[in-house]
Amino acid sequence: MNFAYYPGCSAKGSSKDYEMSTQAVCKALDMHLVDIEDWNCCGSTPAHAVDISLSAALCARNLDIAARQKAEILLTPCPSCLSNLKMAAKRMEKPEFRQRVNELLDEPAAATFPPVTSVMQGIAQQFDMQALAARVKKPLKGLKLAAYYGCLMSRPAEVMQFEDPENPMLMENMLSACGAEMVDFPLKTACCGASFGIPERPMTAINSGRILDLAANLGVDAIVVACPLCQMNLDLRQKQAAKAKETTYNIPVLYFTQLLGLAFDLPKKELGLNKLIVSADSLLRKLVEEREDATKTTEGGRQ
């Protein structure tokens, strides 16, 4: 089945690995992602921080393209893009606001837009957890993981409509279906410090540091994320966060799609695991050891 797809700018840069693994996993699930033509940046936080009609105009151009392509639904991997696209569509329900946005566009936007949702929810709509489990070829047994959603996936609640906004469970359910052990992670929807890593590093370092601290204390093998910015703050900036806390961390931070890909036994090079700053090798070794143990036990059983 085909799905209209909005990759978002970071897909070609800082979150190449998210993009690769999203494509690989969706392909394995026969979900064919088709980029909407000529898409543009949603404006991210800076656009709405400056002006909401500017932000909405940048989003509306994409929504309009999807509408004219007669897309039934638009999927995007990035929670920040998702939030902007959804906010724009919601605000444009108001005629006065729509008018302000249309003033900025070449042509007035389509009257209605297709609904937009995350790749994660898109997968869950097509596959319930049993169906997902049926696709697993190499269970993630032996891995202890923390699901971290960040702030944008589930908030503002009435716009994002993503489960309990303070305690979503979808990622845990998906990864449990793949055989992983999911820890209870109370900071799962706390903010990582967002895009302040550049202008105000301490803010991001301290917020990300809290999340890394908790994960370290819980002894997880990895933090699992669904947001390019969270991933960058926790992985690329892990050393900055550690320095601010005068400690060291060594916690791999993987996209949920990379773990689904491992469970589906997709080729590792399609999952972009080599792009992680904190290496996932320890986790991969653990998976192999676990499997060897499992084989030994079954072989032992047969003797």
Partner 1 sequence: MNDAVNLSRMRDPAFTEEVEARSGQNVSTCYQCGNCTAGCPAGFVYDLQVNQIMRGVQLGLKDQVLNSRSIWMCLSCSTCSLRCPNNIEVAGVMETLRHMARQEGRVTVPKVEKFWWSFLDTVRTFGRTYEIGTMVLYMLRSLRVTTDVDLAPGALAKGKLGFQPHTLPNGAEAISRIFTRYKERAQREGVQP
Q: Which stretch binds partner 1 (CB under 8 A): 21-29, 33-41, 118-126, 257-265?
A: 33-41
Q: Residue 89: which H helix or E strand, with range?
A: helix 79-91
53 binds partner 1 (CB under 8 A): yes
Tell me the three-class secondary structure of 11-47, residue by residue.
HHCCCHHHHHHHHHHHHHCCCEEEECCCCCCCCHHHH
**256: Cβ contacts below 8 Å, ≥ 6 apart:** 120, 147, 171, 174, 175, 224, 225, 226
Q: What are phi and psi of 275, to 5 degrees?
A: -90, -10
104 binds partner 1 (CB under 8 A): yes
9 binds partner 1 (CB under 8 A): yes
User: Of 135 and 201, which CB lies nearer to partner 1 in the complex structure?
Assistant: 201
Q: Which stretch binds partner 1 (CB under 8 A): 21-29, 45-53, 120-128, 176-184?
A: 45-53
User: Of 10 and 121, which CB lies nearer to partner 1 in the complex structure?
Assistant: 10
Quickly list DSSP for 213-256. Answer: HHHHHHT-SEEEES-HHHHIIIIITHHHHHHHTTS-----EEEH
In 3-state terms the chain splits into helix, strand, coil percentages (rounded to 5) of: 55, 10, 40
Q: Which of 124, 190, 131 is nearest to 162 (CA)?
A: 124
Contact positions with partner 1 (CB under 8 A) in 192-211:
193-203, 206-207
Q: Which of 131, 225, 147, 141 is nearest to 184 (CA)?
A: 147
- The token pair at 231 is 């991933």
Q: Which stretch binds partner 1 (CB under 8 A): 19-27, 31-39, 141-149, 168-176?
A: 31-39
User: Of 116 and 187, which CB lies nearer to partner 1 in the complex structure?
Assistant: 187
| Nearest-approach distance from CB 250 to partner 1, in angstroms | 14
- The token pair at 148 is 């971290």
54 binds partner 1 (CB under 8 A): yes
Q: Which stretch binds partner 1 (CB under 8 A): 121-129, 132-140, 270-278, 281-289?
A: 270-278
47 binds partner 1 (CB under 8 A): yes
41 binds partner 1 (CB under 8 A): yes
| Nearest-approach distance from CB 232 to partner 1, in angstroms | 8
User: Of 132 and 241, which CB lies nearer to partner 1 in the complex structure?
Assistant: 241
Q: Which of 61, 86, 98, 188 binds partner 1 (CB under 8 A)?
A: 61
> 4 in helix, strand or coil?
strand
Contact positions with partner 1 (CB under 8 A) in 215-234:
none
- Where in the chain does DSSP place strands (E)? 2-5, 32-35, 74-76, 116-118, 144-147, 181-182, 222-225, 253-255
Q: Which stretch binds partner 1 (CB under 8 A): 26-34, 97-105, 116-124, 248-256?
A: 97-105
Return d(Cα 240, Cα 244) in angstroms, integer.
6
Contact positions with partner 1 (CB under 8 A) in 69-88:
none
Please give the residue ranges that form the binding site for partner 1 (CB under 8 A).
9-10, 12-14, 16, 37-41, 43-54, 57-58, 61, 103-106, 151-152, 155-157, 165-166, 190-191, 193-203, 206-207, 236-237, 239-240, 274-277
